[in-house]
Structure 1
């Protein structure tokens, strides 16, 4: 029986929404009814044209805060991105030194052969 009452409430709700939408003027809108924790529905809220509900108003941010947010997304002038690379491990450094020695030896031997 409880479900039949609830179903009737839904039909009544749809009729109310249809009636409200007929009486709307240009620019007005209706916020759909929300359900309370106990299961009952709140009334639909009609919002007049040009009005912005308090919940939808953007929070004021001073110019300093906006500038700070903008600067956080940019890198400082003259900053090089190449310095952000990972530090080299011991084995990578050792391999680079070996490679340099080989190149030096090869260049010395090649010049002597000529």
Structure 2
């Protein structure tokens, strides 16, 4: 004969099957102050209110059984899986794993983009002339970004700014 489970299955109300006597009981438990509650026997046939299920008629139960999964599109069939993907032991990613993978990809993209921008800033700070700095820099979206950029000399900065404004069509 096999041994009874250490933690028998309990109902919502906490009723479990006593493995020794095979009676339904609420097992003894410990109170917050350390004292022990006695085991309570449950009469045969008694069902507490917590364990009573919501009534579903035969048609309602049939509709629930035949219901399509949430988000299912009628008439859509999933594409056939290749044998290589089916034979692989890789489990599908959970929702959290997919989210973390997207975060890692986004972080990798953001890490690569600022490196290029820092290189442009360092070249401009190194004291290049206005013409070469204008060629190396990407076109600014507005004139406010061009005014915040430091340049080698004041006259070159004014000429650079006026040439950029002329290209943008600002008068």
Answer yes or no: same fold by TM over 0.5: no
Give the TM-score taking structure 1 as reference length. 0.34
Give the TM-score taking structure 2 as reference length. 0.24
Name the structure, 1 or 2, with higher relative contact order (CA <8 Å, separation 6+). Answer: 1
